[in-house]
């Protein structure tokens, strides 16, 4: 656990809390009163990115919470995988990913975001296709002249794909920069975590969809007849 301020002490009714409590005016040495009880937890440190379903987390010792849970433990998280012989009967052992997926509302929220991302990919495909198609139609006389001069269709197709690739890469870079700026400027109340692996996968997906979107104007390039273009 990384401590941004204070110290890591969770004994004797003390606890380490999420950085989000700072935005509410809490400081080291302040107390949190647990609802419907007389338990007061002293804040000894702050830790970043400590949330559960966008709610701030408080880390305390089992002895501190003993008076609240009456000896009942809902879940225990281990760093390493336990041997099956050490697991009590009637207890389910889940991986971290499976446990996260079982959190209330998490799967539904992820499904909604995945649908949104999928539709955005389709929109990217349509926008890139229309944009390159218009550019290709405007350049048909030039393409006809180039073909008449001996420039191969393969070269013109690769040139169009390269333009689409460069355009999508520049767009992804600009999007990443704007995303980082947005994450910095947003208040702490807004839950946002930018994952590098998701950025890479999404960026690659956008580039692939851009290249697929270039297939429609490529058909126009292949059908260009220099004689008709120049003759027209």
CA distance 47 to 121: 36
Instruction: Select from 30, 52, 74 the last residue of a domain.
Output: 74
pLDDT beyond 80 at 175: yes
Same domain, 55 and 169: no
Same domain, 67 and 111: no
Q: Domain range spanning residue 178?
A: 106-231
Same domain, 59 and 163: no
Query: Residue 79: inside a domain, yes or no?
Result: no
Query: What total number of domains does the chain contain?
Result: 2
For the entire predicted model, the pTM comes to 0.64
Q: What is the pLDDT of residues 16-61, one digit of tens each?
A: 999 888 888 899 999 998 888 888 899 999 998 888 777 889 998 8
pLDDT more than 70, % of the chain: 95
Query: Residue 89: inside a domain, yes or no?
Result: no
Query: Residue 67: inside a domain, yes or no?
Result: yes
Average pLDDT value over all residues in the chain = 83
Query: 41 Cβ partners below 8 Å, 6+ apart?
Result: 13, 14, 15, 31, 32, 34, 58, 60, 64
CA distance 206 to 128: 10
Query: Residue 209: inside a domain, yes or no?
Result: yes
Same domain, 52 and 126: no
CA distance 123 to 97: 30
Same domain, 35 and 116: no
Same domain, 115 and 63: no
Query: Residue 100: inside a domain, yes or no?
Result: no
Same domain, 132 and 36: no
Instruction: Select from 57, 74, 91 the last residue of a domain.
Output: 74
Same domain, 29 and 110: no
CA distance 139 to 221: 10
């Amino acid at each position: 656990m990384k401590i941004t301020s204070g110290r890591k002490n969770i004994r004797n009714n003390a606890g380490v809390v999420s950085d989000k409590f700072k935005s509410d005016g809490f400081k080291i040495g302040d107390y949190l009163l647990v609802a419907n009880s007389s338990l007061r937890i002293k804040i000894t440190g702050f830790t970043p990115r400590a949330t559960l379903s966008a709610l701030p987390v408080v880390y305390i010792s089992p002895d501190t919470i003993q008076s609240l849970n009456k000896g009942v433990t809902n879940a225990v998280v281990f760093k390493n995988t336990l041997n099956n012989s050490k697991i009590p009967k009637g207890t389910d052992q889940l991986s971290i990913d499976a446990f996260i997926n079982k959190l209330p509302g998490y799967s539904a929220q992820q499904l909604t975001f995945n649908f949104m991302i999928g539709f955005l990919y389709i929109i990217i495909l349509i926008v890139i296709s229309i944009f390159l198609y218009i550019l290709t139609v405007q350049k048909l006389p030039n393409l006809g002249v180039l073909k008449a001069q001996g420039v191969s269709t393969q070269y013109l197709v690769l040139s169009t794909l390269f333009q689409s690739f460069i355009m999508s890469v520049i767009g992804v870079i600009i999007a990443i920069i704007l995303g980082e700026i947005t994450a910095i400027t947003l208040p702490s109340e807004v839950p946002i975590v930018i994952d590098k692996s998701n950025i890479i996968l999404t960026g690659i997906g956008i580039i692939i969809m851009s290249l697929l979107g270039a297939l429609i104007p490529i058909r126009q390039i292949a059908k260009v007849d220099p004689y008709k273009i120049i003759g027209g």
